[in-house]
């Protein structure tokens, strides 16, 4: 009887455990060892609704949503991609719905239903799940492994490391287990965070959402990111999908007050200065007797228009007819690229860890280690991370499924 240990009972670990049993039927014993409460992470996802996948079915398109690991995932998505992951859940009685930007949720709106499907699947397949049993060490022992927990050491033929992300790399992290087995771990950093802005006017707009905004991020004179998405203004900066994308692209930049990320937010749909100038001219021409604020508020939300006039030093009450050429140019510049100075990330709010087990040492066909036979990795412990929108759980399902099928074979 083949004995498989899955270290980490998160989404990737449960998917791997189920696949291992499925691939080998009765010929394999699968145990999941979790440091805490298995599948607890699922409950926090998608604001308690669990955005478990994205409707983007084309593997190439899907792989572009990963700032790190997209090329590694591409062939994996052709085997178990978005359609397969969604099909896996619906086949187990979980109806799904698609929302904006292709985000897929359980129709019930309850992350707990996703947890229940995974738990039921594992139970039905005879997977043994151990809660509150942190793995402290994994060693090679002959052709197999000795897995140590505070309850003692046990022997397994194969080990799947599915311990998730922990960019602080605290004692007990899966990265430490991987290093102990000879694997390299790339530098780690928090990703998918809100961004802290220095500019006081930003906080004044707290609660405002800009739909489908575009932004470029520059760091030390170089473009670091160019992304689109919804942007939410908060008391201390910006958040929402666009800010998360920027945070992911800039995850490894050492941002500070002395070395900020300069965000340029475009309010001109075409993006260019001429386009911004033309739209502003038209808005002003239509309202010669009106106020500049009214003209600008036809191009941007009113509270933002007020903030822009403040930045340009223009009285909001000024009649359009009195706006100077210089004033108009200043406003056009702001419409084209409204500067926001990012000096920090929101601490503790990160959703994933960037960096992880080096992909060059992992075979994408099996998720097997290229260094240690019988060792597999899946989920966020790998050097793979995606944008928000269901992409991180998708990576967990994909890599978990592939790792489990190979570990159980
Ligand atoms: C607030 C929040 C919201 C999110 N929302 C979404 C979303 O809607 N959609 C999406 O796609 N992604 C979302 N994510 C990201 C997503 O949750 C993760 O990418 C995903 O859970 C990773 O799965 P995993 O199984 O690799 O790791 P995890 O879910 O982190 O699970 C790892 C498990 O391993 C256990 N473990 C760790 N070390 C050990 C050890 N030494 N021994 C034994 N057990 C160990 C942990 O207790 C844990 O249960 C969100 C993340 C957060 C924080």
Confidence of residue 269 (pLDDT cuts 50, 70, 90): confident
Give 165 Cα–ligand 1 centroid separation in angstroms. Answer: 7
Host H or E run for residue 384: none
Could you write out the DSSP letters of every residue in 23-59? Answer: HHGGGEEEEEE-SSSTTHHHHHGGGGT---EES---H
Q: How many CA atoms lie within 13 A of 145 on its CB side?
A: 28
Arithmetic mean of pLDDT over the chain: 96
- Our answer on whether the CB atom of 119 is closer than 6 Å to any ligand 1 atom is no
| pLDDT tens-digit map of 105-129 | 999 999 999 999 999 999 999 999 9
SS3 283: helix
- For the stretch 335-358, pLDDT in tens is 999 999 999 999 998 999 999 999
Residue bearing the CA closest to ligand 1, atom 35: 8
Residue with tokens 């270290």: 7
C-beta of 191 in contact with ligand 1 (< 6 A): no
Write down the pLDDT at residue 289.
Answer: 86
Q: Would the CB of 135 count as within 6 Å of ligand 1?
A: yes
Residues 266/214, Cβ–Cβ less than 8 Å: yes
Ligand 1 center from residue 381 Cα (angstroms)? 9
> Rounded to 5 degrees, what are φ and ψ at 130?
-115, 115
Distance 355 CA to ligand 1 centre (A): 14
Task: Give the C-alpha separation, 181 to 176, whole Å.
Answer: 9
Q: What is the pLDDT of residues 213-234, one digit of tens each?
A: 999 999 999 999 999 999 999 9
At 53-105, the pLDDT tens digits run: 999 999 999 999 999 999 999 999 999 999 999 999 999 999 999 999 999 99
pLDDT for res 42: 98
Q: Is the pLDDT of residue 161 over 90?
A: yes
- The pLDDT of 132-150, averaged and rounded, is 97
Q: CA 89 → CA 92, 97, 201, distances in Å?
A: 5, 12, 45
Q: How far is the CA of 392 from the centre of ligand 1 (A)?
A: 9
Q: Contact 335/270 with Cβ under 8 angstroms?
A: no
Residue 369 CB–ligand 1 contact under 6 Å: no
Q: What pTM was computed for the model?
A: 0.96
Cα angle for residues 334, 248, 304 (degrees, 5° grid): 25
Q: Cα-Cα-Cα-Cα dihedral of 351, 210, 205, 220, to 10°?
A: 60
Report pLDDT for 340: 98
C-beta of 149 in contact with ligand 1 (< 6 A) = no
- Helix (H) / strand (E) element for 378: namely none
Q: Whose CA is nearest to atom 53 of ligand 1?
A: 351
Residue 67 CB less than 6 A away from ligand 1: no
User: Ligand 1 pocket, 319 CB below 6 A?
Assistant: no
- Amino acid 271: pLDDT: 66
């Amino acid at each position: 009887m083949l004995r498989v240990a899955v270290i980490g009972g998160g989404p990737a670990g449960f998917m791997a455990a189920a696949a291992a049993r499925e691939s080998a039927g009765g010929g394999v014993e699968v145990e999941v060892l979790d440091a805490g409460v298995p599948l607890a992470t699922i409950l926090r996802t998608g604001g308690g609704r669990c955005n478990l996948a994205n409707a983007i079915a084309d593997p190439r398109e899907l792989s572009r949503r990963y700032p790190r690991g997209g090329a590694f995932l591409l062939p994996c998505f052709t085997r178990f991609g978005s359609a397969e992951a969604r099909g896996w859940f619906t086949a187990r009685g979980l109806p799904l719905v698609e929302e904006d930007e292709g985000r897929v949720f359980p129709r019930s709106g309850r992350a707990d239903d996703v947890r229940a499907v995974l738990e039921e699947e594992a139970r039905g397949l005879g997977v043994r799940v151990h809660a509150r049993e942190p793995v402290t060490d994994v060693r090679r022992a002959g052709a197999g492994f000795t897995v140590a927990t505070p309850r003692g050491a046990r022997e397994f033929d194969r080990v799947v490391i599915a311990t998730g992300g922990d960019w602080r790399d605290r004692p007990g992290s899966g990265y430490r287990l991987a290093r102990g087995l000879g694997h390299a771990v790339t530098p780690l950093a928090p990703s998918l965070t809100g961004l802290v802005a220095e500019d006081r006017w930003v906080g004044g707009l707290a609660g405002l959402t800009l739909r489908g905004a575009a932004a470029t991020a520059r760091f030390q004179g170089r473009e670091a990111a160019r992304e689109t998405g919804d942007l939410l203004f908060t008391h201390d900066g910006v958040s929402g999908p666009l800010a998360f994308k920027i945070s992911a692209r800039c995850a490894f930049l050492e941002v500070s007050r002395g070395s900020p990320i300069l965000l340029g937010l475009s309010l001109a749909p075409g993006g260019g200065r001429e386009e911004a100038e033309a739209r502003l001219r038209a808005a002003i021409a239509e309202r010669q007797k009106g106020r500049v604020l009214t003209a600008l508020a036809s191009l941007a939300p009113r509270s933002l228009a007020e903030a822009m006039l403040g930045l340009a030093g223009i009285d909001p009450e000024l009649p359009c007819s009195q706006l100077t050429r210089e004033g108009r140019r200043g406003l056009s510049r702001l419409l084209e690229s409204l500067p926001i100075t990012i000096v920090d990330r929101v601490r503790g709010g990160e959703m994933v860890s960037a960096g992880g087990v080096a992909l060059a040492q992992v075979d994408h066909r099996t998720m097997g280690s290229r260094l240690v036979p019988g060792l597999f990795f899946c989920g966020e412990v790998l050097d793979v991370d995606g944008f928000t929108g269901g992409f991180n759980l998708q990576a967990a399902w994909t890599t978990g499924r592939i790792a489990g099928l190979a570990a159980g074979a």
